[in-house]
Amino acid sequence: MIVNKPAAETHIWKIVTVVFFGPFLSILSATTVNVSLSTLGHDLGAPLGTIQWVASGYLLALALMLPLTGWMVDRFGAKRMYLGCFAAFTLASTLCGFAQTAPQMISFRILQGMAGGLIAPMAQMMTARHAGENMARVMGYVGFPVMLAPIMGPVVAGAILEHASWHWIFFINAPFGVLAIAVAALLLPNDEELNPRPLDLIGFFLISPGLVLVLEGVQAMTTGGGALRGAEIIAGLCLVGAFIWRSQKLGKAALVDLRLFARRTFAVAASAQFLANAGSFSGQLILPLYYLTARGIGPTATGLLILPLGVGMAVSLPMMGRVVGWFGARRTAAGGTTLAFLGTLPFVFFGQEWPLWFLVVTLFVRGLGLGAIGVPSLSMAYSSLPKSELANATTAVNIVQRLGGPIGTVSLALLFQHLLIQSQGIAFSATFALLCAMHLMCALVVLMLPKTA
């Protein structure tokens, strides 16, 4: 059978265009809510300790449902699941806008997280199945909304809170959600032959609570309760360990087939995703703190000074297909980690008060590098597998990615808090040095990828 290449490329770009909106809206919702927590707490009459669950509940609900992604796709099909999750996300967003109390808001946000958290993995998996030789190029565009949404989130939230009520942070998802669902129903390809398998219920009750305990414990480490949080993390790790031990015995019957990690390319690529996320999210913690406290710059100006980081990522992501074609995935990812390292290094020298224009250029370089790490390694992970294993692989990679961000962020936060007792200069220098070390570790990992891809 002869495949018309232009028609095949048109087919995949239809998919990329459609699935852009799902990850964008779900991640935008998370970042806009983070900015508006104080407003929500005031209007709903809830203290910060309660209202912060509007943000935390969303992320933990995502972690709870994430291990089910592969099983759901195999059983119900990717298109059905994508449409169902998007519809549930849109409905939950609308309910959040109508919430009258903090418990109502937290409950609706958990529902929103359970649905919205699965949208990005679904988008990845659908595009990977149809990308073919365009894998790196396609993944670059799929990763674009994931990078764009956190940049636009604070801007959108600020505009809404200045000109309207907080309710519109949630209501704004409704018209875009309905439109995106209609377009997806028309343009997404119908599901191929399904591969239903029994649900590994025991595995689900091990891995999902385990991930939730680990993530919640790690994220809460910086707020105190060290012994309690430590016990929470240990309990979560025990559950995850039990899942790993059991899954190795079950093989394909497990909720997530961990034999994927026995394949060198996939294991190395997944490790690179973990370290790339750790470095990216950690920087989002320490960079604003540097401008606000060390340089005494106001919040609005700080946001503008950090914006070049996002611009750098937005510039590099669409170029990934072409760059990988020129240099190969391994060299591209290694070059990305090098740029991320060089874009972070000046901040280590805290005693040198760099001019702001130089730091703007530095962060743009860092953004270029961060955008060039994830896509090449992710495309190699997916390209090394048959289509039948992509649903399972998407679940595994996304679990590893989700763990990288909070673990890296908390590592930096704890180091900063510990050294801040001695001096601000030592704390910032050592924390940025640890961030540089994360990028160097990522460079060593990506150099283990095959030369031929």
Asked if residue 298 and residue 157 are part of one domain, the reply reads: no
Residue 297, sorted as left (phi over 0), alpha (psi -120 to 50) or beta, turns out to be beta
For residue 208, give its domain range: 200-254
Q: Are residues 151 and 289 in the same domain?
A: no
| 309 or 138, greater pLDDT | 309
Same domain, 247 and 264: no
182 plus 302 within the same structural domain: no
CATH code, domain carrying 310: 1.20.1250.20
Cβ neighbour number for residue 273 with a 10 Å cutoff: 24
CB 271 within 8 A of CB 260: no
Tens-place pLDDT, residues 10-37: 667 777 777 777 778 887 887 777 777 7
Let me know whether 250 and 286 are in one domain: no
- Residue 196 CA to residue 163 CA, distance in Å, equals 49
Tell me the pLDDT tens digit for each residue of 188-244. 877 666 777 788 889 888 988 888 888 887 777 666 656 676 788 889 889 999 998
Total of domains in the chain: 3
- State which of 180, 197, 214 marks the end of a domain: 197
Q: Who's near 29: CB < 8 A, 6+ residues apart?
A: 58, 93, 112, 116, 169, 170, 173
> What pLDDT is recorded for position 1?
38
**Hunting for tokens 């449902």 — which residue is that?**
65
Q: pLDDT confidence of 5, banded at 50, 70, 90?
A: very low
Task: Reduce the secondary structure of the chain to three states and give it as a string.
Answer: CCCCHHHHHHHHHHHHHHHCHHHHHHHHHHHHHHHCHHHHHHHHCCCHHHHCHHHHHHHHHHHHHHHHHHHHHHHHCHHHHHHHHHHHHHHHHHHHHHCCCHHHHHHHHHHHHHHHCCHHHHHHHHHHHHHHHHHHHHHHHHHHHHHHHHHHHHHHHHHHHHHCCCHHHHHCHHHHHHHHHHHHHHHCCCCCCCCCCCCCHHHHHHHHHHHHHHHHHHHHHHHCCHHHHHHHHHHHHHHHHHHHHHHHHHHHHCCCCHHHHHCHHHHHHHHHHHHHHHHHHHHHHHHHHHHHHHCCCCHHHHHHHHHHHHHHHHHHHHHHHHHHHHHCHHHHHHHHHHHHHHHHHHHHCCCCCCCHHHHHHHHHHHHHHHHCCHHHHHHHHHHCCCHHHHHHHHHHHHHHHHHHHHHHHHHHHHHHHHHHCCCHHHHHHHHHHHHHHHHHHHHHHHCCCCCCC
How many alpha carbons lie under 13 Å from residue 186 in its C-beta half-sphere? 8
In angstroms, the Cα distances linking 447 to 286, 322, 349, 442 are 27, 20, 28, 9
**Worst-scoring range by mean pLDDT, 8-17, 396-405, 421-430?**
8-17
296 and 352 in a single domain? The answer is yes
Query: In this model, does residue 416 exceed pLDDT 80?
Result: yes
| CB of 330 closer than 8 Å to CB of 384 | no
End-to-end CA distance of the chain: 27
d(CA 6, CA 18): 18
What length does the chain have? 453
Residue 3 has pLDDT above 60, yes or no: no
Together in a domain, 446 and 321: yes
Smallest CA-to-CA distance from 127 within 199, 187, 62, 66 is with 187
Query: Where does a domain end: 215, 231, 254?
Result: 254
Phi first, then psi: give them for residue 255, nearest 5 degrees: -60, -45
pLDDT tens digits, 343-360: 999 999 876 778 889 999
**Residue 62: C-alpha distances to residues 18, 119, 136, 148, 367 (Å):** 22, 10, 26, 20, 26
Rounded Cα gap, residues 437 and 428, in angstroms:
14
pLDDT recorded at residue 226 = 61
**pLDDT for the residue numbered 2:** 41
Residues 38 and 11 placed together within one structural domain of the fold: yes
pLDDT above 70 for 407: yes
Q: Model-level pTM?
A: 0.78
Mean pLDDT of the chain, nearest integer: 82
Please check whether residues 363 and 287 belong to one and the same domain: yes
Do 361 and 416 belong together in one domain? yes
**Distance (Å, whole) CA 173 – CA 265:** 38
Same domain, 143 and 246: no
Same-domain status, 51 and 158:
yes
The yes-or-no verdict on residue 186 having pLDDT over 90 is no
Q: Identify the domain boundary among 197, 220, 236.
A: 197
